[in-house]
Amino acid sequence: MRFKSRNLTIAALLTFLIIMRKRQKLTSQQQSEVIAILSVGCSRAAAARCIRCTPYMLRREILENASFAEQVVWEKIQKLILHIYYREYKSANVAS
């Protein structure tokens, strides 16, 4: 049992060190890469992997940076509109 408690202590210490480390912000180049990746239909997790950051870091940046969040939301809206338009176009051609 002593071994388990030591593992929990090490895990708690690692968590503390991760939290206390200086928060890194995305550069403008990384932000533009994320927007480009999202515009082709990839997920946020895939975009985070491409720019070598965690999905949590990307999410935090979206929540903290209003202009970046606006661009991310706009890409999502465009993707949804395109999907709806394509679906309606396809169903109209099938019905004809």
The per-residue DSSP string of 13-63 comes to HHHHHHHHSPPP---HHHHHHHHHHHHTT--HHHHHHHTT--HHHHHHHHH
pLDDT tens across 14-70, in order?
776 666 566 678 899 999 999 999 988 899 999 999 999 989 899 999 999 999 999
pLDDT tens across 9-21, in order?
777 767 766 665 6
pLDDT score of 59 = 93
